[in-house]
Amino acid sequence: MTCAVDFYPTLLEIAGSDLGKQQLDGISLVPVLKGNSLPTRPPLVFVTGSHQELKRKSWKAVRDGKWKWIQPPGKEGQLYNLESDPNEEHNIADKHPQIAERLNILVQEQIQ
């Protein structure tokens, strides 16, 4: 899976720029353009709301490979396997509590 944030690091690498060595949100897609597999993407954390609202009134989500964890404001977290459930219809957080907790911790670390 690719994202719009991947265009910038891809173009930087094609241009031979050292700026691509910085910490960027996206990953370069040059390996894919050369016929190789997509590089491993670090987990992406999404949080909505202002800084004051982060802990109580914001949507939180993490995408890590095939897993997506979502927590709506004031509700329990939801876990989805995007390979087997791309429409996010079956919350499997109770079947995979360790994965749900790991992704929840990633979000909490980002909003500290």
Based on the fold, state whether residues 53 and 80 are members of the same structural domain. yes
Strand 67-71 with 78-81, pairing: antiparallel
Predicted TM-score (pTM) above 0.75: no
84 domain-assigned: yes
**Domain range for residue 12?**
4-33
Specify the pLDDT at position 20. 57
Q: What is the DSSP letter of 86?
A: T
Based on the fold, state whether residues 19 and 59 are members of the same structural domain. no
Based on the fold, state whether residues 53 and 86 are members of the same structural domain. yes
14 domain-assigned: yes
Based on the fold, state whether residues 107 and 54 are members of the same structural domain. yes
Based on the fold, state whether residues 18 and 55 are members of the same structural domain. no
Query: Position 10: which residue type?
Result: T
Specify the pLDDT at position 55. 56
Q: How many distinct structural domains can be found in the chain?
A: 2
> Which pLDDT tens digits describe the chain residue by residue (112 residues)?
667 878 888 888 888 887 656 677 778 888 888 888 877 766 666 666 655 555 566 788 888 889 999 988 888 999 999 999 999 999 999 999 999 999 988 888 876 6
DSSP string computed for 27-68: ---HHHHTT-PPPPPPPEEEE-S-GGGTTTS--EEEEETTEE
39 domain-assigned: no
Based on the fold, state whether residues 62 and 90 are members of the same structural domain. yes
